[in-house]
Amino acid sequence: MAAGLAAAAVSVGVAQLFAPLFSPAADVRNAVGSAVIDMTPGPVKEWAIQAFGTADKLFLSVMVLVTIGIVAAVAALWERPGIPLGSLAIAAGCAAGMSAVLARPGAGAADVIPTLLAALCGIGVLRLLTSDGGSTRHEADRRRSLQALGFIGLGVLAGTAGELLTRRLGSVEGDRTGFSLPGPAQSAGPIPPTVQPKGVELPSFITGNGDFYRIDTALRVPQIARADWRLRVHGMVDRELTYSFADLERFEPVEATVTLTCVSNPVGGDLISTATWTGYRIRDLLRDSGIHADADMVLSTSIDGFTAGTPVEALTDERDALLAIGMNGVPLPVEHGYPARLVVPGLYGFVSATKWVVDLELTRFDRAQAYWTKLGWSARAPIKTQSRIDVPREGQRIPKGPATFGGIAWAQHRGIRAVEVRIDDGPWQPAELGTAYSNDTWRLWSFAWTAEPGPHTIAVRTIDNTGAVQTGDPAGVIPDGATGWHTVAFDVG
């Protein structure tokens, strides 16, 4: 088994070391992990998001390595000089890995070379460590143990060097830091201090880039330089268009402050954030294409193959859906879509917020399905009217006397009219609202209460600007977003 682990370590290390010399698709670990993501049923993916949140990709990467190690260790038990079943298992893994590499967008035949080299090295190590070389049993075991440890160390060293080389050769962070955002012709309005209720610690109205939630299917963050980026507009149009980054300069840059929400956000969850985005109106980019009257969906595609289906009207109406290139006054962070992504107010991200976007196909909902729609999510997904309690936290103990609670409410593209709070089984009472910034952003609220000793619960609901009251009927996130009143239990004493 130690021989198998050593063979696995060398294989993974060699693959990582040589992958940076080829295209991004050559990274077999990323290719296998992405294939696992693509083949995983929708409910299982949703479980992973709920269980691990933004650490779901780290969990998958670790599990891929653990699985490789376990399979190699077990396979090595059947390695024999005359019947090399362990070597055959590595060869089979190599074939699966090469298939995964070739399935990645933009992959070429040469991209399988690192995987092939890795398999050959792994087989060589396994054969070496399972031969006795004429030694006694004790001498052979001791020699194999020392050699196995050495090869494991070499594998880890090679893998680490490969990871550093990948970051050095593939990173576009230098390209990003060398870019200055254009001055917007239409600026987002200033954020008044009164959006933030006093006397209670709530999230900042604008979420910092480092704290903004990230949920996507990219196991390794795609790296695209501005000079290499292209956006193709095609499908049900009179004229196919292709934009380079330089071509965007002929359009009017605008700013918009928008709250984005993930459909995987459970009741009371934190997969929601607000930023000020800089970019170009999608409707301006689509105008010259001549959209066919019967086209009702835009299928957007990321450089890594992810797709999202967005209603045409959401990209062409007055809501100013953006091809965003900036976030909170700086170029988009690479993990949030640099050099360009979509930002569409009022729709959950899985049908609108494509990062690293390179393709817009005008089509119809009855002709095409996007990534998550194929897995059981809704094709159209307007954000639901929801609210959350941030203070107090579940199980928190607070002192008796005057207390101020608070949280956030949202109903993007409709806006929030009121928030109501209920303590225990009492009546619904109005909360104080921070100033409304726009219908496309969340609204912060607070509630003053005189805390009485004992266990209590607090529930919240909101009313949007259409007059619709947030439903208390509980529903999970599949297929189009969670519903229910957020309720928190706390103690006073």
Same domain, 333 and 207: yes
Same domain, 220 and 287: yes
**CA 311, CA 282: separation in Å to the nearest integer?**
12
Flag whether 180 is in a domain: no
The last residue of one of the domains, among 375, 407, 428, is 375
Q: What is the pLDDT of residues 122-136, one digit of tens each?
A: 998 888 888 765 555
What percentage of the chain has pLDDT greater than the value 70? Answer: 98
Q: What is the pLDDT of residues 296-305, one digit of tens each?
A: 999 999 999 9
Number of domains in the chain: 3
Beta strands in 367-415 (DSSP E): 386-391, 397-398, 401-410
Flag whether 207 is in a domain: yes
On the 0-12 / 13-18 / 19+ scale of CB atoms within 10 A, 378 is middle
Same domain, 220 and 324: yes
Same domain, 202 and 244: yes
Q: How open is the CA angle 73-75-76, to the nearest 5 degrees? A: 65
Same domain, 371 and 395: no
- Identify the pLDDT of residue 136: 58
Give the confidence band of 47 by pLDDT, cuts at 50, 70, 90. confident
- Identify the pLDDT of residue 138: 64
- Identify the pLDDT of residue 309: 98
Same domain, 153 and 41: yes
Same domain, 24 and 163: yes
**CA 48, CA 223: separation in Å to the nearest integer?**
25
215 against 355, higher pLDDT: 355
- Identify the pLDDT of residue 221: 92
Structure tokens at 392: 């107090």
Residue in 370, 357, 359 with CA at minimum distance from that of residue 324: 357
Question: How many Cβ atoms from other residues are within 10 Å of residue 204's Cβ?
Answer: 13
Instruction: Provide the domain limits for residue 477.
Output: 386-492
Flag whether 176 is in a domain: no
- Lowest mean pLDDT of 51-65, 89-103, 373-387, 467-481, name the range: 51-65
Same domain, 199 and 307: yes
- The alpha carbon torsion through 245, 249, 255, 259 (nearest 10 deg) reads -20
What percentage of the chain has pLDDT greater than the value 90? Answer: 73
The whole-number average pLDDT for the span 136-157 is: 80
The whole-number average pLDDT for the span 346-357 is: 97
Q: What is the pLDDT of residues 161-172, one digit of tens each?
A: 988 888 888 899
- Identify the pLDDT of residue 135: 54
Taking the CA atoms of 492, 459, 417 and 348 in sequence, report the sign of the dihedral they define.
positive
Same domain, 53 and 156: yes
- Identify the pLDDT of residue 448: 97
Same domain, 33 and 130: yes
Q: What is the pLDDT of residues 167-192, one digit of tens each?
A: 888 899 999 999 999 999 999 999 99
Flag whether 179 is in a domain: no
- Identify the pLDDT of residue 38: 82
Q: What is the mean pLDDT of the chain?
A: 92
Flag whether 444 is in a domain: yes
The whole-number average pLDDT for the span 145-159 is: 88
- Identify the pLDDT of residue 106: 86
The whole-number average pLDDT for the span 109-131 is: 90
138 against 174, higher pLDDT: 174
User: Which of 31-40, 214-223, 310-319 has the highest mean predicted lDDT (pLDDT)?
Assistant: 310-319
Helix (H) or strand (E) holding 465: none
Terminal CA-to-CA distance of the chain, rounded, Å?
57
- Identify the pLDDT of residue 137: 63
What is the DSSP secondary-structure string of 44-94? HHHHHHHHHGGGHHHHHHHHHHHHHHHHHHHHHTTB-SSSBHHHHHHHHHH
- Identify the pLDDT of residue 412: 97
The last residue of one of the domains, among 315, 347, 375, is 375
- Identify the pLDDT of residue 66: 86
Give the confidence band of 30 by pLDDT, cuts at 50, 70, 90. confident
Same domain, 363 and 257: yes
Which strands sit side by side in the sheet containing 486-492, from one edge to the other? 397-398, 486-492, 454-464, 416-423, 429-430
CATH number of the domain at 241, please: 3.90.420.10
Beta-carbon contacts of 230 under 8 Å, excluding residues fewer than 6 positions away, are 242, 243, 244, 358
**CA 123, CA 120: separation in Å to the nearest integer?**
5
pLDDT score of 446 more than 60? yes
Same domain, 365 and 391: no
Flag whether 181 is in a domain: no
**CA 370, CA 359: separation in Å to the nearest integer?**
13
- Identify the pLDDT of residue 184: 95
Q: What is the pLDDT of residues 412-432, one digit of tens each?
A: 999 999 999 999 999 999 999
Structure tokens at 171: 């990173």
Helices (H) and strands (E) in the chain, counts: 10, 19
